[in-house]
Structure 1
Amino acid sequence: MAIDVKIEQLWIPDSLDTPDAADFLAAVEVGRKVRMQTWGSDDLAYGPQEKLLEFADPYERQLILVAKVDGAIVGTVDIALPLTDHLDLAELTLDILPEFQRKGVGRRLLEAAEQLARGEGRTMILVDTNHPGASLHEFERAQLVPGSGQGFVPLESREVEFAQKTGYTLQHIEQFSSCLLPLDTKLVADLQAEAEEANNGRYRLHHWTDQCPDQWLEGVAALENQAGADVDPSLELPIEQDMVFDAGILREAEDVAIAQGRRTVVTAVEHIATGALVGLTTITVLAHRADVVFQDDTLVLQEHRGNKLGLLIKVANMERLSEQFPDARIIYTWNAPENRYLLTVNKQLGFQTAGVTGIWQKELPTMHTSTS
């Protein structure tokens, strides 16, 4: 039996302690319940304050549509519209309360979000599906492989069936892993010794939190641009890095992170002979949740690989994180399954596969205005 669903745009309050914040809080709670259902914990759920800060991001505009049944919010779709590059793109995150799944709510929300995105001139839509490790073993017989890269999603899962029925194509897979903190002291000592032996005194580490020292700003920009060019061209990822970094862009990104209350712990590595930065790794700590942290980019230039620099900088950065943020108990990271280099480093550090995320794509027909 079809249920009566009303779709409306969510009002974003100025603060959480006003009466008009009730719907916003209910929408954030839907996201938390869905992540509990998927992952068995709410580590990956936004807290209300963290979600509110997202709306101040100058790099993308965020909108939320909600599905209401009898006045209560039972589903949400977050719509992120990039503002600086990829101006044809909209990224959607769809969350439906477990008890309202398979009742047509998701389809209604998705159609409304696509229509809104199209009205904003966006023609390329990305959505993701999340699959915990246990479900991958359960469905091993029936696998769907992506258009590029390695990995698979379970063909018979509800999310995959829904994405296919609504016209989306699986583009690529990201492997999702977690590691408990702090790292074991003996493990750290062993890994540091292994990395130092391999690089044989040819490299030097540099550390900073939140803001890059002026002397390394140009070096970081050059490293980001070079690493972007290093990506294997055979991996046709749907989002290509087409932003060219410079000192101004990096400072602006730091200011945005600081304004959102985020902390950034960075370790970079200098090639002593040339004085150039050849590697970098970053961990992000959210403003309102110190126990769960996120490993962001780890970059090592192609010609300096094979010297265990990835291992060297990641061990050092995770150690610094634990010193500065002792409440951090778990770190999460996403990697392309074909990135054997970083997956091997992560395994040495103790990362365990938590699951995979499938990135799905759909091209909307462009809107033509009638001239007749």
Structure 2
Amino acid sequence: MTSTVEIGQLWIPDSLDADDAKDFLAAVEVSRRVRMQIWGTDDLAYTPLEKLLELGDPYERQVILVARVDGRIVGTVDIALPLADNMDLAEFTLDILPEFQRRGVGRQLLEAAEHFAKSEGRTMIMVDTNHPAESLRGGAEGQLVPGSGLGFVPLASREVDFARRTGYTLQHIEQFSSCALPLDSKLVAELEAEAEDANAGRYRLHHWTDRCPEQWLEAVAALENAAGEVVSEGSETAEAEQQQLVFDAAVLRQAEDAAVAQGRRTVVTAVEHVASGRIVGLTTIGVLAQRQDVVFQDDTIVLQEHRGNKLGLLIKVANMQRLSEQFPDARVIYTWNAPENRYLLTVNKQLGFTTAGVTGLWQKELPNMGPRVTSSE
């Protein structure tokens, strides 16, 4: 006899110690187990406190739906609704316990999430599928290529089959890479010498953690705005094509404050073109509040007219060194790049990054329900 699947919205407790936190903890554990299944590690899983802090993000509203079988939470879908830009977008993260996959739970959760997104006026849905490196072997006949860009996902994947059957179209691929920390000191010396020889004293490095110095605030905001015009790390592919938040000094400060409020640390190295006094490149690494052994490469931006001077290499080596000094427990750094971003992929290879897998970004357009009508009663 098939058990009934019950779908409902997850209650978010005020704290993890609250009497009503049990379901929240169970939902976070579902996501952790799914990442263990995919990657063989829970490096990419939120701790319960990290997830609770993330739900306070002022730039997006998050709603979590859960699927229960016999009262047990066996699946979750995290619905992220941007609040500052891309107001037609909803991003889903769907997780089903391994033992409950291929039983219709995922389809019911996804349908419920789509209905919720439509009720919120969102018409474009993005979901991702994740594929470890060992699943990418084989010939072209077993590959599904995206609508734009390079790369592929394996046709044999359960996730790929599910996305296609539920009406999603593969749009882009992101290459997922990792690098052990700290970097070897001999390698660091060699790469620093190579980068310094190339820039010949024409550039100067600046460093900070969490908050940009006031003197560079406007310059960094301008650089962040230029990220959509250059090939950058951490903001490419489908998201780079959507309407982006326009940065100014106030918005940058708000973003910094939001990160600090969530307990996150940000290690930054910027590069100044000495002759013009302009900041022309920037790289950031994010450190989570609860897991400082696992860190994430965020934006790396180098303006196009300053390419060819090894600036990407220069700032990334310096920033990874600063990271290890400030956060000595960091043992691995992860990053995502578009496969066509040869510039940063080459830099990452020099640093010792290896491919851990790929993420497929899928899209589905929902029919517009029209404007929502609110009652004055």
Q: What band does the TM-score fall into relative to the shorter chain?
A: over 0.9
Letter in 2 for 1:212: C
Task: Tell whether the 8 Å contact from 2:172 to 2:360 is kept in structure 1 after alignment.
Answer: yes
- Structure 2 Cα separation of the partners of residues 236 and 55 of structure 1: 23
Q: After TM superposition, give the deviation of residue 216 of structure 1 in Å.
A: 0.4
Q: Which residue of 1 aligns with 2:30?
A: 30
Q: After TM superposition, give the deviation of residue 240 of structure 1 in Å.
A: 2.4
Q: Secondary structure at the match of 1:249?
A: helix
Letter in 1 for 2:250: G
Q: Secondary structure at the match of 2:242?
A: coil
Structure 1, gaps ≥5 residues long = none
Q: Secondary structure at the match of 1:179?
A: strand
Task: Tell whether the 8 Å contact from 1:171 to 1:238 is kept in structure 2 after alignment.
Answer: no
User: Does 1:16 find its partner at 2:12?
Assistant: no
Q: Which residue of 2 aligns with 1:258?
A: 260
Q: Which residue of 2 aligns with 1:45?
A: 45
User: Does 1:298 find its partner at 2:311?
Assistant: no
The equivalences for 1:328-343 within 5 A come to: 328-343=330-345
Q: Which residue of 2 aligns with 1:326?
A: 328
Q: Kindly tell me: are residues 321 and 238 of structure 1, through their superposed partners in 2, closer, same or farther at Cα, counting changes over 3 Å? A: closer
- Structure 2 Cα separation of the partners of residues 239 and 57 of structure 1: 22
Q: Which residue of 2 aligns with 1:311?
A: 313
Q: Kindly tell me: are residues 102 and 262 of structure 1, through their superposed partners in 2, closer, same or farther at Cα, counting changes over 3 Å? A: same
Structure 2, gaps ≥5 residues long = 373-377
- Structure 1 Cα separation of the partners of residues 350 and 140 of structure 2: 26
Task: Tell whether the 8 Å contact from 2:146 to 2:172 is kept in structure 1 after alignment.
Answer: yes
- Structure 1 Cα separation of the partners of residues 243 and 222 of structure 2: 14
Q: Which residue of 2 aligns with 1:125?
A: 125
Letter in 1 for 2:218: E
The equivalences for 1:53-68 within 5 A come to: 53-68=53-68
User: Does 1:208 find its partner at 2:182?
Assistant: no
Task: Tell whether the 8 Å contact from 1:176 to 1:356 is kept in structure 2 after alignment.
Answer: yes
Task: Tell whether the 8 Å contact from 2:121 to 2:370 is kept in structure 1 after alignment.
Answer: no
Letter in 2 for 1:261: G
The equivalences for 1:222-371 within 5 A come to: 222-231=222-231, 239-368=241-370
Q: After TM superposition, give the deviation of residue 224 of structure 1 in Å.
A: 1.4
Q: Which residue of 2 aligns with 1:165?
A: 165
Q: Kindly tell me: are residues 235 and 76 of structure 1, through their superposed partners in 2, closer, same or farther at Cα, counting changes over 3 Å? A: closer
Q: After TM superposition, give the deviation of residue 197 of structure 1 in Å.
A: 0.3
**Of 206-215 and 239-248, the range deviating more from structure 2:** 239-248
- Structure 1 Cα separation of the partners of residues 48 and 356 of structure 2: 25
Count matched residues: 370
- Structure 2 Cα separation of the partners of residues 236 and 10 of structure 1: 29
- Structure 1 Cα separation of the partners of residues 7 and 239 of structure 2: 32
- Structure 1 Cα separation of the partners of residues 149 and 332 of structure 2: 28
- Structure 2 Cα separation of the partners of residues 176 and 109 of structure 1: 27
Q: After TM superposition, give the deviation of residue 248 of structure 1 in Å.
A: 0.5
- Structure 1 Cα separation of the partners of residues 343 and 146 of structure 2: 21
Q: After TM superposition, give the deviation of residue 290 of structure 1 in Å.
A: 0.6
Letter in 1 for 2:118: R
Task: Tell whether the 8 Å contact from 1:148 to 1:237 is kept in structure 2 after alignment.
Answer: no
Task: Tell whether the 8 Å contact from 1:171 to 1:237 is kept in structure 2 after alignment.
Answer: no
Q: Secondary structure at the match of 1:87?
A: coil
User: If the length of structure 1 is used for normalisation, what is the TM-score?
Assistant: 0.96
User: If the length of structure 2 is used for normalisation, what is the TM-score?
Assistant: 0.95
Q: After TM superposition, give the deviation of residue 244 of structure 1 in Å.
A: 1.7
Q: Secondary structure at the match of 1:90?
A: strand
- Structure 1 Cα separation of the partners of residues 159 and 118 of structure 2: 23
Q: Kindly tell me: are residues 24 and 235 of structure 1, through their superposed partners in 2, closer, same or farther at Cα, counting changes over 3 Å? A: closer
- Structure 2 Cα separation of the partners of residues 369 and 131 of structure 1: 38
- Structure 2 Cα separation of the partners of residues 264 and 231 of structure 1: 21
Task: Tell whether the 8 Å contact from 1:139 to 1:155 is kept in structure 2 after alignment.
Answer: no
Q: Secondary structure at the match of 2:127?
A: strand
- Structure 1 Cα separation of the partners of residues 210 and 35 of structure 2: 29
- Structure 2 Cα separation of the partners of residues 3 and 365 of structure 1: 32
1:122-143 deviation line (CA, Å, top 9, x unaligned): 0000000000000111576411
Task: Tell whether the 8 Å contact from 1:2 to 1:104 is kept in structure 2 after alignment.
Answer: no
The equivalences for 1:98-137 within 5 A come to: 98-137=98-137
Q: Which residue of 1 aligns with 2:375?
A: none
Q: Secondary structure at the match of 2:21?
A: helix
Letter in 2 for 1:315: V
Task: Tell whether the 8 Å contact from 2:223 to 2:280 is kept in structure 1 after alignment.
Answer: yes
Letter in 2 for 1:287: A
Q: Kindly tell me: are residues 237 and 294 of structure 1, through their superposed partners in 2, closer, same or farther at Cα, counting changes over 3 Å? A: closer
- Structure 2 Cα separation of the partners of residues 165 and 361 of structure 1: 13
User: Does 1:93 find its partner at 2:93?
Assistant: yes
Task: Tell whether the 8 Å contact from 1:63 to 1:79 is kept in structure 2 after alignment.
Answer: yes
Q: After TM superposition, give the deviation of residue 269 of structure 1 in Å.
A: 0.2
Q: Secondary structure at the match of 1:116?
A: helix
Percent identical: 77
Q: Which residue of 1 aligns with 2:75?
A: 75
